[in-house]
């Protein structure tokens, strides 16, 4: 939980997947809503590949996804799980134990989640980024694992190309450091904010692995 090296590991794995970026874009977009195909040049590559036509999110779809992501079942479950882990670790120590302490930790986790979701919604709309997860059409555990990890670090633009996920990382950093304002003394430092940021990205990697490998009927509740 307190290992910022997880973020560095993710970045290294993303870089190792970079030579396969053309393949990643093709497989990720293969689950886009439209079935028509076209030849598309992938950003940063001279190779053209045939992929399903990418359909960007509409404004109404963005709003719907925002409310579900901010206040839906997954948000509540994630906040409860986070509160349980913090309760077990007795972090922050000033909140102690018991039901009231669990409520404070749950409220803290939920507030950070809503803040991050709101920041990501605004930034992704302004930057025309699409942070949805698209399953890999490759076979093989390692290829699918690399796809899931790489998906954490990239977002799609309106043309279907990929670039660094500025809105995802910016919102994670913003929520992690802004939330230090209401933290007690033992967890309100910049270092604590950095640890929280690294943990948030690590959780994103884990959720993408869940979305990739669990059966589709189960992962419908983990779409983002």
Q: Is residue 208 classed exposed, middle or buried when 0-12, 13-18 and 19+ CB atoms within 10 A define those classes?
A: buried
- The predicted structure's pLDDT at residue 17: 39
Model confidence at 177, pLDDT cuts 50, 70, 90, reads: very high
In contact, 153 and 14? CB cutoff 8 Å: yes
- DSSP H or E segment with residue 49: strand 48-52
Asked, for residue 89, whether it belongs to a domain, the answer is no
Rounded to whole angstroms, how far apart are CA atoms 91 and 186?
8
**Tally of structural domains, the chain:** 1
Helices vs. strands in the chain: H and E counts, helices first: 9, 4
pLDDT tens per residue across span 122-148: 999 999 999 999 888 888 999 999 999
Asked, for residue 94, whether it belongs to a domain, the answer is no
Asked, for residue 83, whether it belongs to a domain, the answer is no
Domain containing 25 equals 5-58+122-222
Asked, for residue 64, whether it belongs to a domain, the answer is no
- The predicted structure's pLDDT at residue 101: 96
pTM: 0.74
Asked, for residue 87, whether it belongs to a domain, the answer is no
Asked, for residue 14, whether it belongs to a domain, the answer is yes
Asked, for residue 160, whether it belongs to a domain, the answer is yes
* Closest C-alpha to 156, from 32, 70, 66, 15: 32
pLDDT tens per residue across span 20-63: 333 334 344 334 444 333 333 333 332 222 234 678 899 999 99
More confident residue, 160 or 197: 197
Asked, for residue 131, whether it belongs to a domain, the answer is yes
């Amino acid at each position: 939980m307190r290992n910022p090296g997880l973020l560095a590991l993710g970045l290294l794995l993303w870089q190792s997947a970079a030579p396969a970026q053309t393949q990643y874009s093709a497989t990720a977009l293969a689950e886009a809503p439209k079935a028509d195909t076209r030849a598309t040049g992938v950003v940063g590559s001279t190779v053209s590949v045939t992929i399903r036509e990418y359909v960007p999110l509409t404004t109404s779809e963005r709003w719907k996804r925002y409310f579900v992501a901010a206040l839906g079942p997954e948000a509540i479950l994630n906040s409860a799980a986070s509160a349980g882990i913090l309760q077990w670790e007795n972090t922050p120590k000033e909140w102690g134990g018991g039901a009231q302490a669990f409520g404070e930790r749950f409220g803290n986790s939920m507030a950070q989640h809503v803040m991050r979701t709101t920041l990501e919604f605004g930034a992704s709309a302004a930057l025309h980024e699409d942070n949805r997860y698209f399953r890999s059409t490759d076979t093989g555990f390692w290829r699918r694992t690399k796809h899931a990890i790489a998906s954490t670090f990239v977002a799609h633009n309106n043309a279907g190309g990929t670039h660094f996920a500025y809105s995802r990382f910016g919102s994670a950093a913003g929520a992690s450091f802004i939330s230090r304002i209401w933290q007690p003394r033992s967890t309100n430092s910049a270092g604590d904010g950095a640890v929280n940021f690294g943990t948030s990205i690590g959780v994103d990697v884990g959720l993408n692995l869940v979305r990739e490998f669990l059966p589709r009927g189960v992962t419908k509740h983990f779409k983002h």
